[in-house]
Amino acid sequence: MKSPHNLKEKLIILAKNEITMNKYNNNTFKQNALAALETALFLKKGAKRFSSDSKSLKQSFLLPIMLLPITLIIVFYAHPDGKLADGATQILAIIYTLRLFIYLGLFLGFVYLMTKSMDRAEDFKRFATANNWLTLPAAGAMLPLLCLFLNGSHSWAEIYPMMVVVTLYAYAYTAFMATYVLRIPYELAGFIAIAGMAIHQSSLTALKWAAVQTITLIS
C-alpha cells in the first residue's frame, strides 16, 4: 500500500506537469497565431516564427478541420441549384471533407519529396505547421464576406469575385511563407503554391466524378 506521503508527491508532480503542458500549449498557440498574422502581412519574421516540433505539427492539423464548416456553409448556401435536398447535402459534406484530407496528404507529400530532394527535409515540419496555421488569415478575410452574403445584403454574384481575390491572396502569402521557411527562390515557392492550387481543385474534381460514378452504379 502506497503511503500518503508518496501519493502526495506524485500528485504534486502531475500538477506541475499539467501546468507546464498548459504553458507550452498557450505559448505555442500565441507564437503560431502571431506568425500567421505576420506572414499574412508579408513580414519575413513571421514565416520564421512558426514552430518546427512534431507536437505543434500534429496540433496544427486541428485548424483546417475546425475551419471546414466555413467551406461547407459556402458550398450549401451558394450552390447554383439553391436549397439542396438532405441527400445532396450529405454527399457534398462527405466530398468536401474527403477533399480536405486528400488535399493535405497529396500537397504535403509533394512538398516533403521536394524538400528531401533539395536537402531541406529539416524544414518540412515548420512548413507543414505554417501551411495549416495560414488557414486562419484566409478564414478571417472570408468571414465578413460570408456574413454579407448570408444576411442578404449582397448576392453571391457580388461576393464571389472578392472570394476569388481572398483565395489568390492566400496562395500569395503561402508562397511567401515557403520562400523563407524552406529557404528557396521566389520562383520555386510560387511553383509550390500553384501546385497546391492545382491539387486542391483536381482532388475536388476527382471526388465529384467518383461520387457521380458511384451513384450511377448504385442506381
Domain boundaries, the chain: 4-218
Output the pLDDT for position 7. 58
Minimum mean pLDDT among 93-97, 103-107, 132-136: which range? 93-97
Q: What average pLDDT does range 88-97 have in this prediction?
A: 88
- Locate 25 and state its grid cell: 500549449
> Sorting pLDDT into bands at 50, 70 and 90, what band is 132?
very high
Say yes or no to pLDDT of 165 above 70: yes
Contacts of 6 (CB under 8 A, 6+ apart): none
Say yes or no to pLDDT of 84 above 80: no
Output the pLDDT for position 123. 94
Distance in angstroms (rounded) separating the CA atoms of residues 199 and 147: 28
Distance in angstroms (rounded) separating the CA atoms of residues 33 and 114: 26
Mean pLDDT for all residues in the chain = 86
Alpha helix ranges (H) inside the chain: 4-40, 44-49, 54-60, 62-66, 68-77, 86-117, 124-133, 135-150, 156-181, 186-218
Q: What average pLDDT does range 66-78 have in this prediction?
A: 86
Q: How far is CA 131 from CA 164, 186, 196, 217, in A?
A: 19, 17, 11, 38
Output the pLDDT for position 152. 85
> Sorting pLDDT into bands at 50, 70 and 90, what band is 21?
very low
Minimum mean pLDDT among 153-157, 164-168, 185-189, 197-201: which range? 153-157
| Buried-exposed string 141-164: b where 16+ CB fall within 10 A, e elsewhere | bbeebbeebeeeeeeeeebeebbe
Distance in angstroms (rounded) separating the CA atoms of residues 180 and 70: 29
Q: For residue 1, which amino acid is it?
A: M
Say yes or no to pLDDT of 81 above 90: no
Higher pLDDT, 23 or 190: 190
Q: What average pLDDT does range 20-44 have in this prediction?
A: 82
Distance in angstroms (rounded) separating the CA atoms of residues 202 and 96: 12
Whether the CB-CB separation of 111 and 14 falls below 8 Å is answered with no
Concatenated DSSP letters for 55-115? HHHHHHTHHHHHTHHHHHHHHHHT-TT-SPPHHHHHHHHHHHHHHHHHHHHHHHHHHHHHH
What values do phi and psi take at 152, rounded to 5? 85, 5
